[in-house]
Amino acid sequence: MSYDGQNCIHVMLFDIVGLIISHHFISVSVDHLMLKHYIIWSSVLLLAGVTIFYALLLFGVDPLWSFYLAERWCSQPDWVHHNTSLLYALVRDSASLLGEKHCVFL
């Protein structure tokens, strides 16, 4: 599979996850949510990220292919970091969701 095909798979999987999440949060008022709700949704996001990562591996797609290409072709390879990958962004966003609600209770 070419890198364009791998990029297409990444985009489609994250689009589907994003649509599911956005569809739920459009109809939810966050004023009444408690900490347990944020823990559940953060866990769902983390589980989705891990599931997508291993599903890509199962289908023979390297989830970090763009990182390796960027590291190879960038004029300054030390500027390329793992925290620019899509899966890292999903983990970072779910952690910030949990952290923001936790700060409300302090």
The DSSP letter of residue 75 is S
Tally of domains within the chain: 1
Residue 27 maps to a domain: no
Tell me whether residue 28 is in a domain: no
Distance CA 45, CA 49 (A): 6
Residue 62: give the domain boundaries: 3-16+33-104
Q: Is 25 within a domain?
A: no
Examine residue 21 and state whether it is found in any structural domain, yes or no.
Answer: no
pTM: 0.55
In-domain check, residue 9:
yes
Question: Tens digit of pLDDT for each residue in 47-76?
Answer: 888 888 899 899 998 887 777 888 888 888
Instruction: Give the model's pLDDT for residue 58.
Output: 94
For residue 88, tell me if it sits in a domain.
yes
Answer whether residue 26 is part of any domain.
Answer: no
* Euclidean distance between CA atoms 18 and 38, whole angstroms: 17
